[in-house]
């Protein structure tokens, strides 16, 4: 039995167009941050994991505080970061935040992929004052 099917090219085109409309990779995000693009990076992991290491400038918004929408911004991409490629926390947050009318993207691979690409990280507690100023 053949495990790999032959995909429909038109269906594949739509799938990949939609996928790239709602996600970004860690290297692309790094380039956007370096270029000073107007966006928010929202880390939805638990605070103790965020403190061990996170994307510089990211805002920690764990599930218990999603209703606060802290750090999320209207009119600019809100890039959601979770643990890894098999974590659905960012996708779950994305559905909730999009329902509230916020523009959201998921970073593929989560923080694990960021680290695997040797991109800069910082450690420390979430800075709520910075989140509230945005």
Catalytic residue among 44, 61, 81, 82: 82
Q: Assign residue 129 a region (left: φ > 0; alpha: ψ between -120 and 50; beta: otherwise).
A: alpha
Write the DSSP string, the chain: --SS----HHHHHHHHHHHHHSEE-HHHHHHHHHTT-S-EEEE-S-HHHHHH-B-TT-EE--GGGGGGTTT--TTS-EEEE-SSTT--HHHHHHHHHHHTT--EEEETTHHHHHHHTT---B-S---HHHHHH-
Active site residue 87: no
What positions carry a catalytic annotation?
Answer: 82
């Amino acid at each position: 039995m053949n495990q790999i099917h032959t995909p429909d090219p038109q269906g594949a085109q739509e799938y990949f167009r939609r996928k790239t409309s709602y996600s970004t990779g860690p290297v692309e995000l790094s380039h956007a941050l370096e270029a000073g693009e107007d966006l928010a990076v929202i880390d939805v992991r638990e605070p103790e994991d965020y403190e061990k290491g996170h994307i510089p400038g990211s805002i920690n918004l764990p599930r218990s505080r999603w209703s606060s929408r802290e750090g999320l911004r209207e009119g600019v991409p809100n890039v959601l970061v979770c643990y890894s490629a098999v974590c659905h926390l960012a996708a779950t947050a994305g559905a909730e935040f999009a329902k509230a009318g916020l523009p959201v993207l998921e970073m593929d691979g989560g923080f694990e992929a960021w680290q695997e690409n040797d991109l800069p990280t910082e450690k420390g507690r979430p800075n709520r004052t910075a989140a509230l100023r945005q």
